């Protein structure tokens, strides 16, 4: 009898296989076996990327002389050397009359064509230059991912600027830290954001950061800024809808995103004009995005899936469906139904909540072709439930990171789909698993083989080599390998199961945060001598935040928990909920006084 992990849930139809992007591409290069095709994409990566760049219709102002230059070694490849481009041009190669964005205003579905989105992006680019902003100026976007945010994102990149992506759920202190690291010159935001029936004062929060200039998107209920240096939309936006995009080197920065590592400060990870090619390629091969598809993924430009969604959809000539309120309740399900979403992205915690509340069961989601899951480990029963909400549709598991520009591990629509399992490394990317002795094994830590498009080559505030390459062994054929921090198990059927993180970060509700950040937020509570934050798998099998605390005396747990939660809400993110506090006499440490959190978990 088949084991549970080998139980086939969904087999692709012949029609799905025949019409899939990956099938067409494999036919084009003369390969009919998926494993052989993946091997081709990594062994002959220059030929592969040259072909997918043509397939995606990536636009150049000056053609590259080659695909990859390894003069500086595989840790720091130069992609598309001597070319000139602006990746935003590749977002507008389709029919201008097709729909680029779907969104809601007062519960009424609205649409924006590619032509209208490009015109608004051009107005923004012209307006920024008129205000004195120039090439490589860092300009932040801190707001829900609505139609203005998408146009701003494209407009900033189009004029040569660097978008600083910061999630609007962060505290004022955390926002200020990120603005400082990126040396941001201005922030785009809005006065108020609505979330789960509450009105959150976003402009007031950002005003506390002392950013030189805040530019406010339209709000009929708030017509004037509170600070003299800030600018309303009407005073900012020029009418000129024509703009020639800035001609950039492919490796020039377009976006600074932040990912929490094992240090106290967030890592500042730049994306270049090349990184979106990875995002669009992944969407083409794995989520099978085609023109006329409609993509919804509840996210924010401050998390990598926000920028990923922009490029994955627009370069593939698809439509983005934007929903800015909570996806946990019925109105989101109604939006997915009414917007005719064909690809719905989720974080597993969200599905667990839907399953408990049954809030999505009354909607018709039959138009969904595929789900995609990322952000944290998923679980079989929840994913099987999600499949059933659309009449039995596959889930493309998608695992990677900001520093990858997409995923290193995923699934495809032409393979059998098992809940919570990954079927293949992503096309153009390869990895091995290392055991505790740094030997290649079927279970262990992920080591990604370089080079590959999408992989970061620099960090703005950390030593890139030390974090990703120091003390890493060579690959099976002498390749340079970089650490990633995930732990996987390769199963007998060739699929993969995610085991979690190997470092001291955790995913809380799909948001990656380091233990150090949480411990730092609690450090000024007088009763606490020392704390350790860990992520523990709870009854619903999602990560719960547990705080181990050494205290000055036996404090009341409910009181101290409230103090801790208040500090986390104020300094980090109110989405990080403490599940339990455990008092302890002393925290486990090494001889060099380094905390060993794994002994607590």
Judge whether residue 5 has pLDDT over 60.
Answer: no
Name the least confident of 42-56, 223-237, 502-516: 502-516
Judge whether residue 261 has pLDDT over 50.
Answer: no
Q: What is the pLDDT of residues 395-424, one digit of tens each?
A: 999 999 999 999 999 999 999 999 999 999
Q: State residue 157's pLDDT score.
A: 99
pLDDT band at 2; cut points 50, 70, 90: very low
> 178 and 141 in contact (C-beta within 8 Å)?
no
Out of 300-314, 371-385, 561-575, give the one with best mean pLDDT: 300-314
What does R_g of the chain's alpha carbons equal in angstroms? 23
Q: State residue 594's pLDDT score.
A: 54
Give me the CATH code for the 507-599 domain, please. 3.30.300.30
Rounded average pLDDT over 169-196: 95
Judge whether residue 167 has pLDDT over 60.
Answer: yes
Q: State residue 587's pLDDT score.
A: 87
pTM for the predicted model, two decimal places: 0.88
Q: State residue 591's pLDDT score.
A: 40
Q: State residue 506's pLDDT score.
A: 83
Q: What is the pLDDT of residues 54-77, one digit of tens each?
A: 999 999 999 999 999 999 999 999
Q: What CA–CA distances, in Å, run from 574 to 169, 296, 401, 571, 589?
A: 8, 24, 23, 9, 29
Alpha carbons 260 and 533: distance in angstroms, whole number: 14
Q: State residue 379's pLDDT score.
A: 81
pLDDT band at 190; cut points 50, 70, 90: very high
| Greater model confidence, 520 or 40 | 40
Q: What is the mean pLDDT of the chain?
A: 93
Alpha carbons 324 and 328: distance in angstroms, whole number: 12
**367-385 burial: b if 16+ Cβ within 10 Å, else e:** bbbbbbbbbbbbbbebbbb
Rounded average pLDDT over 337-345: 99
| Greater model confidence, 504 or 215 | 215
| Greater model confidence, 276 or 529 | 276
Judge whether residue 524 has pLDDT over 90.
Answer: no
| Greater model confidence, 539 or 125 | 125
Q: What is the pLDDT of residues 71-123, one digit of tens each?
A: 999 999 999 999 999 999 999 999 999 999 999 999 999 999 999 999 999 99
Alpha carbons 530 and 515: distance in angstroms, whole number: 13
Name the least confident of 178-187, 280-289, 335-344, 571-580: 571-580
Considering only CA atoms, which of 271, 276, 333 is closest in space to residue 59? 276
Q: What CA–CA distances, in Å, run from 73 to 65, 271, 445, 457?
A: 18, 19, 24, 11
Q: State residue 559's pLDDT score.
A: 93
pLDDT band at 511; cut points 50, 70, 90: confident
Transcribe 63-114 into DSSP letters.
Answer: --S-SEE-TT-TTS-EESTT-BB-GGGGGS-S-TTSEEEEEEETTEEEEEEH
Q: State residue 375's pLDDT score.
A: 85
Name the least confident of 135-139, 318-322, 350-354: 350-354
| Element spanning 233, H or E | helix 233-236
**Token couple for 560:** 């101290």
Judge whether residue 502 has pLDDT over 80.
Answer: no
Alpha carbons 597 and 590: distance in angstroms, whole number: 11
* Domain boundary assignment for the chain: 507-599
pLDDT-above-70 percentage for the chain: 96
Judge whether residue 291 has pLDDT over 60.
Answer: yes
pLDDT band at 263; cut points 50, 70, 90: very low
Q: State residue 523's pLDDT score.
A: 81
**Token couple for 376:** 């944290």
Alpha carbons 535 and 514: distance in angstroms, whole number: 10
Rounded average pLDDT over 139-148: 98
Q: State residue 331's pLDDT score.
A: 98
Cα of 149 vs its chain's centroid, Å: 16
Please state whether beta strands 343-346 and 578-583 pair in parallel, antiparallel, or not at all (unpaired).
Answer: unpaired
For residue 228, how many other CB atoms are within 10 A of its CB?
A: 5
Please state whether beta strands 138-141 and 99-105 pair in parallel, antiparallel, or not at all (unpaired).
Answer: unpaired
| Element spanning 578, H or E | strand 578-583
pLDDT band at 590; cut points 50, 70, 90: very low
Who's near 595: CB < 8 A, 6+ residues apart?
532, 587, 588, 589
Q: State residue 338's pLDDT score.
A: 98
pLDDT-above-90 percentage for the chain: 80
Q: State residue 4's pLDDT score.
A: 40
Judge whether residue 504 has pLDDT over 50.
Answer: yes
pLDDT band at 381; cut points 50, 70, 90: confident
Place of tokens 């083409």: 284
Alpha carbons 52 and 274: distance in angstroms, whole number: 13
> 325 and 195 in contact (C-beta within 8 Å)?
yes
Rounded average pLDDT over 353-360: 94
């Amino acid at each position: 009898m088949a084991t549970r992990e080998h139980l086939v849930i969904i087999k692709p139809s012949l029609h799905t296989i025949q019409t899939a992007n990956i099938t067409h591409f494999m036919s084009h290069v003369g390969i009919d076996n998926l494993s052989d095709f993946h091997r081709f994409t990594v062994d002959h990566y220059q030929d592969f990327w040259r072909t997918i760049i043509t397939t995606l219709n990536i636009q150049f102002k000056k053609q590259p002389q080659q695909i990859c230059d390894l003069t500086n070694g595989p840790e720091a490849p130069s992609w598309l050397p001597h070319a000139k481009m602006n990746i935003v041009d590749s977002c507008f190669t389709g029919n201008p009359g097709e729909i680029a964005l779907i969104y809601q205003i007062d519960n009424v579905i609205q649409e924006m064509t590619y032509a209208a989105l490009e015109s608004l992006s051009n107005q923004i680019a012209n307006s920024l230059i008129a205000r004195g902003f120039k090439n490589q100026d860092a300009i932040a976007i801190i707001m829900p991912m609505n139609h203005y945010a998408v146009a701003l994102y494209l407009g900033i990149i189009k004029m040569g600027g660097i978008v600083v992506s910061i999630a609007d759920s962060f505290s004022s202190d955390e926002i200020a830290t990120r603005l400082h690291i990126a040396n941001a010159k201005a922030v785009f935001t809005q006065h108020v954001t609505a979330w789960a029936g509450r009105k959150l004062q976003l402009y007031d929060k950002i005003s506390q950061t002392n950013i030189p200039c805040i530019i406010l998107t339209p709000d009929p209920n708030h017509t004037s800024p509170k600070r003299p240096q800030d600018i309303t939309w009407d005073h900012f936006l020029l009418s000129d809808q024509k703009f020639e995009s800035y001609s950039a080197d492919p490796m020039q920065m377009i976006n600074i995103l932040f990912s929490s590592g094992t240090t106290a400060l967030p890592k500042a990870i730049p994306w270049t004009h090349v990184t979106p090619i990875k995002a669009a390629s992944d969407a083409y091969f794995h989520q099978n995005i085609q023109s006329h598809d409609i993509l919804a993924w509840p996210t924010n430009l401050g998390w990598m899936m926000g920028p990923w969604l922009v490029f994955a959809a627009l370069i593939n000539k698809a439509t983005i469906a934007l929903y800015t309120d909570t996806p946990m309740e019925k109105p989101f399900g109604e939006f997915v139904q009414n917007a005719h979403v064909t690809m719905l992205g989720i974080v597993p915690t969200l599905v667990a909540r839907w399953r408990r509340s049954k809030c999505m069961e009354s909607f018709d989601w039959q138009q969904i072709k595929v789900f995609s899951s990322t952000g944290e480990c998923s679980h079989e029963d929840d994913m099987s439930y999600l499949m059933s909400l659309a009449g039995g549709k596959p889930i493309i598991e998608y695992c990677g990171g900001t520093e990858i520009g997409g995923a290193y591990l995923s699934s495809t629509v032409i393979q059998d789909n098992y809940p919570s399992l990954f079927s293949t490394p992503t096309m153009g990317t390869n990895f091995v698993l290392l055991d505790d002795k740094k030997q290649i094994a079927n279970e262990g830590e992920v080591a990604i083989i370089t080079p590959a498009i999408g992989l970061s080559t620099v960090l703005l505030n950390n030593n890139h080599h030390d974090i990703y390459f120091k003390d890493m062994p060579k690959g099976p054929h002498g390749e340079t390998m970089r650490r990633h921090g995930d732990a996987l198990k390769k199963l007998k059927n060739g699929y993969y199961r995610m085991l979690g993180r190997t470092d001291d970060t955790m995913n809380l509700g799909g948001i990656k945060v380091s233990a150090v950040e949480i411990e730092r937020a609690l450090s000024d509570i007088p009763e606490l001598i020392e704390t350790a934050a860990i992520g523990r798998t709870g009854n619903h099998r999602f990560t719960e935040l547990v705080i181990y605390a050494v205290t000055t005396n036996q404090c009341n747990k409910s009181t101290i928990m409230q103090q801790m939660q208040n500090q986390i809400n104020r300094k980090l993110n109110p989405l990080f909920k403490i599940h339990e506090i455990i008092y302890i006499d002393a925290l486990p440490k090494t001889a060099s006084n380094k905390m060993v959190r794994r002994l607590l978990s």
